[in-house]
Amino acid sequence: MQSRQQPQAAPEWWRNAVIYQVYPRSFADADGDGTGDLAGVRGRLPYLAALGVDALWFTPWYRSPQADGGYDVADYREIDPAFGTLADAEALIDDALALGIRTIVDVVPNHVSSEHAWFQEALAAAPGDPARDRFWFRDGKGPGGDQMPTGWTSSFGGDTWTRTEGPDGKPGQWYLHLFAPEQPDLNWTHPDVVAEHEAVLRFWYDRGVAGIRIDSAALIAKDPELPEVGEHHEPGRHPHLDRDELHDVYRGWRKVADSYGDDRFLVGEVWLADTERFMMYLRDDEMHMAFNFDFMTRPWDAAELHESIGATLAAHAAAGAPPSWVLSNHDVTRPVTRYGREDSSFSFLAKRFGTPTDLGLGARRARAAALLTAALPGVLYVYQGDELGLPEVEDLPEGTRQDPMHFRTGGVDPGRDGCRVPLPWTPDGDTYGFNANGAPPWLPQPEGWGSRAAALQEADPGSFLALYRDAIRLRRTEPALQGDGFAWLDTAPGTLAFRRGTDLTCVVNFGDAPVDLPAHTEVLLASAETGDGRLPGDAAAWLRA
């Protein structure tokens, strides 16, 4: 298939892009079955164009049993029927391109769905059959092989091995899954696994996709000896995290991306605390960028964010890679809720039911954080609904949660459903405009959800949506925000200020009391009123110097 061309191809356009994350199940439902779909996104493209984004990142839209929100992929070349068809995806890519909006798709290299043809073939095969070599099948330990091959812990909580059953009903080998049992891990030493994923990249690049987001990028390589996880491992030698050999995989992916031109890119989901190891993924023959989770997980604190921003900019400058800035995603508690808590940092291990939050305080801080991130050099990612100031829905009715994180921790972890509740588009109606016929959404929307609807916010110049639109517009039009120029300015404790270019200053007040604004000729944008020349607590402003 001949590759579709990107519109007005701009080399490395992604270095200063605004990328909007679409979780298709929850964005907009055109066919009225309660699940968001690609036709729903196509119908809302004018909204996204008005927001001013450069690209859309779609979480997996492929055929999937949805055991983990689509991250259990059964076939990368088919669209899940709940979302539409391959023709719908191609039309959406083309329609978005016509508006100057590119498309990024998610690829999940660590595992596939247990319904994937490869895994079904492996289950039907006998132990030792080559069909099993694409995965991690192993005999169990102990008498009768009743004990798991390792004691590794799943990222979702619980065990990482599930035992198979033979045709005679007797217990068989075990298979590895770092996530849910429905997500068997692939063996990346197998040439079929390498070749298939490179073919998948070409399949989507050929259809006009501009970028590939790589899920759980640091997990794909395993030590074939399958040792236990100890308290300490030498860098690159952990049994299943950030192993040195996985970089050869991404060098191969980079060659595929580069063969389509320098307007295509790779972005990795790399959860690593070690900055030096993190930056190895951004060498000039691997990924173009990676998500900056250090910044996202820090608390609302001037010193903490100053440290994170400084370290991020320094490391990325040395690598020649653009930094990314993100406040949340489909896995993380929304900023309006998180920033209203006594501990405003984020950790998966710390998520619990009943954690108090002050949504008014959280909203003020989330507005300020939006301006802080949008003013930084690099790539800005926005998760759907953050531009509406949506809070986490923490009181989902009993029996409606679907996230395996919740169930595999025995109900201790609330899971990630709270940030995935379908969006409110209109202030009224049974589904607040998510669909037209009122079919119950796949996750229930809370009462009063319509008060945060996009239609209401479009008419309110003081809304979250207006703030995001203005910030993104200024990122496009202000020369100071186009380049890499950045310099910290001296400020009092509890505040941050930095200069972009020669004439634009961003100042953020993390305290409770108002502070005087630095000398300026114009307030370009502020998250709260600054009419008296002072910046309120938990607020940010962009100033013309």
Number of H helices, E strands in the chain: 15, 20
d(CA 13, CA 16): 7
Strands (E), 258-314: 265-268, 289-290
Whether 398 is catalytic is no
Interatomic CA distance for residues 94 and 97, integer angstroms: 5
State whether residue 107 is helix, strand or coil.
strand
In what order do the strands lie in the sheet containing 211-214? 289-290, 265-268, 211-214, 102-107, 55-58, 18-22, 379-383, 324-326
Go through the chain and tell me how many residues it has.
545
Closest CA to 175 of 112, 248, 241, 108: 112
The single residue of 29, 37, 242, 269 carrying the catalytic annotation is 269
**DSSP per position, 182-214:** TSPBB-TTSHHHHHHHHHHHHHHHHTT--EEEE
User: Which of 203, 207, 210 has the alpha carbon at shortest distance from 12?
Assistant: 210
Strand partners, 383: 21
Q: What is the pLDDT of residue 197?
A: 98
Q: What pLDDT sits at residue 313?
A: 97
Digitized pLDDT (tens) for each residue of the chain, 545 residues in all: 545 555 555 789 999 999 999 999 999 999 999 999 999 999 999 999 999 999 999 999 999 999 999 999 999 999 999 999 999 999 999 999 999 999 999 999 999 999 999 999 999 999 999 999 999 999 999 999 999 999 999 988 889 999 999 888 899 999 999 999 999 999 999 999 999 999 999 999 999 999 999 999 999 999 999 999 998 999 999 999 999 999 999 999 999 999 999 999 999 999 999 999 999 999 999 999 999 999 999 999 999 999 999 999 999 999 999 999 999 999 999 999 999 999 999 998 899 999 999 999 999 999 999 999 999 999 999 999 999 999 999 999 989 998 888 887 888 889 999 999 999 999 999 999 999 887 999 999 999 999 999 999 999 999 999 999 999 999 999 999 999 999 999 999 999 999 999 999 999 999 999 999 999 999 999 999 998 999 999 999 999 99
- How many beta carbons lie within 10 A of that of residue 282, not counting itself? 21
Point out the catalytic residue in the list 215, 392, 417, 538. 215
- To the nearest 5 percent, what fractions of the chain are helix, strand and coil? 30, 15, 50
Sign of CA dihedral 49, 51, 57, 61: negative
Q: What is the largest CA-CA distance in the chain?
A: 81
Residue 269 among the catalytic residues:
yes
